[in-house]
Amino acid sequence: MQYHLVGFIILAIVLVAIIIFRSFTDDSKAQDELDRFLSEPKSPRQVARLYERYVGHLFEKQGYDVAYLGALKGHADMGRDIIVTKPDEILVIHTKCWAKRRVVHDNDIYHLFGKMSHLKLTSEDPNRKTRAVMYSTSQYSSLAKQAASVLGVEIRTEKLNLSYPMIKCSISPIGEKVYYLPFDAVYDRVKVSRRDEYFVRTVHEAVKKGFKRAG
């Protein structure tokens, strides 16, 4: 009887060790995939999406709700890459991750202002304060600056930074703690809005907080 009990305990220990090893291996692979994703060459479309996410994260970390229309709808976003919802206003954001030699022109400002105005007029609450914000990695022409000043469009210059914590640690409606990597299909739909949800830089940080790989 004792031998059977000892054998059962040993088997249980072995099974637990296997599970832990597999989990560790999977998390190590996930970190390798993330490192490879960040280091490999990117297409212009990928760079544009990464810039949208970075700009959106600047608002997410402040606790605001961010909708990534550019990533989710592509060209159907109507020039509204990001919608940021604050308690007192809505920001309609367009992003341009361009080379230094390129310049944002006044037509880009007019286009964004028109899209913001359309959203405001067709929304359920047209009286709610709505503003247009342009983010670019390059400079603005003098005419673009004048147009922005007249129309009340906020213009910002922000370089792309890929060192921000982009792993999303989110809790599902059934309480499952899952982390998502930037190349996961549902990444742009995942919200990090609860106090016990996080943005982290490494898989190790996510696992340490009790989250497991999505899928």
pLDDT digits (tens, 9 = 90+) for 130-172: 999 999 999 999 999 999 999 999 999 999 999 999 999 999 9
Could you tell me if 88 and 109 lie in one domain? yes
pTM: 0.82
Distance CA 169, CA 28 (A): 17
Asked whether residue 15 is domain-assigned, the answer is no
Q: How far apart are CA 32 and CA 27, in angstroms?
A: 9
Top mean-pLDDT range of 19-23, 78-82, 85-89, 196-200:
196-200
Lookup: tokens for 12: 């249980």
Cβ atoms 168, 195 nearer than 8 A:
no
Task: Give yes or no for a contact between 100 and 138, defined as CB atoms under 8 angstroms apart.
Answer: yes
User: In terms of domains, do 109 and 151 share one?
Assistant: yes
Residue 88's domain comprises 44-157
What is the rounded CA–CA span in Å between residue 171 and residue 187?
13
Query: Is residue 30 included in any domain, yes or no?
Result: no
What share of the chain has pLDDT > 90, as a percent? Answer: 67
Please report whether residue 16 resides in a domain: no
* pLDDT score, position 170: 96
As for how many domains the chain has, the answer is 2
Residues 48 and 149 in one domain: yes
pLDDT at 77: 45
pLDDT of residue 86: 87
Domain identity same for 116 and 214? no
Q: State whether 59 and 152 are in the same domain.
A: yes
- pLDDT tens digits along 106-140: 999 999 999 999 988 888 777 789 999 999 999 99
